[in-house]
Structure 1
Amino acid sequence: MGNREKLLDGALRCLLEKGYAATTARDIASAAGVSLAAINYHFRTTEALLNEALQRAIEQWADEMERALRDAAGVDGAAERFEAVWASVIASVTANRPLWTTQFEVVTQLGRQPAPSPAWSEPQAQAQAGLAALFHGIDPEAEPERAQVIGGFYHALLTGVVVQHLTVPDRAMSGRDLAVALRFVASRLVEV
């Protein structure tokens, strides 16, 4: 494993243990077993290294979710499949709590910036397209607008569910709760 990979692994360990704001270049270099100069050589800035490490971790989580969604695809019935998928998502959020708390810490940091961060625009678009494909098989290349809207809906739903499970898990929505609520909301949208 080269220094670049060691730095990414070390940065991720630090992010999950210390959080985004508390992780220093010295922490990462120490965790990776490389010199401080290696950060500048491979990433130019500590922030760029932390962002890439976090984005990789999110991609790994997305791969995990894709496997869970494929497993849930065998469940009979749309509502039952929806519940099974969300049960997997919620279990994964609980199992990956440090990853999610770090993501929300980054969101808070981004919210304090005077302008939106272009570095996070593409990963968000990819996440939304991926969610649309995973939940409904929507091809973002063939139907970009639909993928953006449906993926955005699932992204918003996921964010809210994660917040609930991180802050007050005993009052957080379950997969069944989400299915019941969505059925009710959908029925109200078709009323004249």
Structure 2
Amino acid sequence: MGNKEKLLEGALACLLDKGYARTTARDVASAAGVSLAAIGYHFGTTDALLNAALDQALEAWGAALEEALRGAADGPDDDPAARFEAVWARIIASVEAQPALWKLQFEVVAQLAVLPELHERWQHSLAAAQEGLAALFGGSPGTGAFYQALLTGVVVQHLVAPGRGVDGAQLAAAVLEVAAHLRGGEDAAERV
């Protein structure tokens, strides 16, 4: 493994351990087992290295989640509620499997105003995520935005209270209840 790859690996380890704001060039160089000068040679700046490591980690996580979700979405079950529950169960499992990566994402979101180099990329990523969620669950781009909002809330619940956040079945029941209320009040909710 070359120094560039060692730096990316070390940067990711530091990001997951210390977070974006607290990771220093020295931390990364030490974790990678290379000199500080290697950061400048391969990436120009520490921020560029951290951003590259973050991008690489999010791409790998996204690909793994997409594969897991494709299995749930393409399953033999024709019941939309069962499919919905299965997809959310896999999303929740991914949150529980990689909480440090999710915490890092929330830290970066909180700092986007002072990280303009990331802000534009994350706007594009948000739009792509919404499109992907709309395609996964079926619906318009607005539906994708709804699922993105729901995803954010579910992630927060599982990060704040691991093992006690909402599950797929609870989400399905809640969505049906909300839809019933929107269609006609409590009488409609009782029919669901």
- Band of TM-score, shorter chain: 0.7 to 0.9
Unmatched tracts of structure 2, length 5 or more? 186-192
Q: Which residue of 2 aligns with 1:40?
A: 40
From 82, 87, 91, the counterpart of 2:93 = 91
CA distance in 2, matches of 1:134, 1:159: 16
C-alpha displacement of 1:111: 5.1
**Closer, same or farther: CA 69–170 of 1 in aligned 2, 3 Å:** closer
C-alpha displacement of 1:89: 0.8
Unmatched tracts of structure 1, length 5 or more? 139-145
Question: Conserved in 2, the CA contact under 8 Å of 1:19 and 1:102?
Answer: yes
CA distance in 2, matches of 1:170, 1:187: 28
Q: Which residue of 1 aligns with 2:5?
A: 5
Question: Conserved in 2, the CA contact under 8 Å of 1:69 and 1:135?
Answer: no
CA distance in 2, matches of 1:24, 1:63: 28
The Cα offsets for residues 126-180 of structure 1, whole Å up to 9 and x where unpaired, read as 22223233333x7xxxxxxx33x23222221111100000102354111111101
From 118, 127, 130, the counterpart of 2:129 = 127
Q: How many residues in Structure 1 have an aligned counterpart in Structure 2?
A: 182
Letter in 1 for 2:65: M
Query: What's the % identity of the aligned pairs?
Result: 60
CA distance in 1, matches of 2:39, 2:144: 34
Instruction: State TM-score, norm by structure 2.
Output: 0.84
From 164, 178, 186, the counterpart of 2:179 = 186
> Which segment drifts farther, 35-44 or 8-17?
35-44
Matched, 1:18 2:18: yes
Letter in 2 for 1:36: L
- Name the larger-Rg structure: 2
Alignment map for 1:158-173 (pairs within 5 Å)? 158-173=151-166
The Cα offsets for residues 80-104 of structure 1, whole Å up to 9 and x where unpaired, read as 0110111111111011011111111
CA distance in 1, matches of 2:136, 2:34: 38
SS in 2 for 1:169: coil
C-alpha displacement of 1:64: 1.5
Aligned CA RMSD, in angstroms, stands at: 2.3
Alignment map for 1:75-154 (pairs within 5 Å)? 75-76=76-77, 77-110=79-112, 117-136=119-138, 146-147=140-141, 149-154=142-147
SS in 2 for 1:190: helix
Q: Which residue of 1 aligns with 2:75?
A: 74
Q: Which residue of 2 aligns with 1:143?
A: none
C-alpha displacement of 1:119: 3.7
CA distance in 2, matches of 1:62, 1:75: 24
SS in 2 for 1:117: helix
CA distance in 2, matches of 1:64, 1:113: 27
Question: Conserved in 2, the CA contact under 8 Å of 1:79 and 1:179?
Answer: yes
C-alpha displacement of 1:8: 1.3
Alignment map for 1:49-60 (pairs within 5 Å)? 49-60=49-60
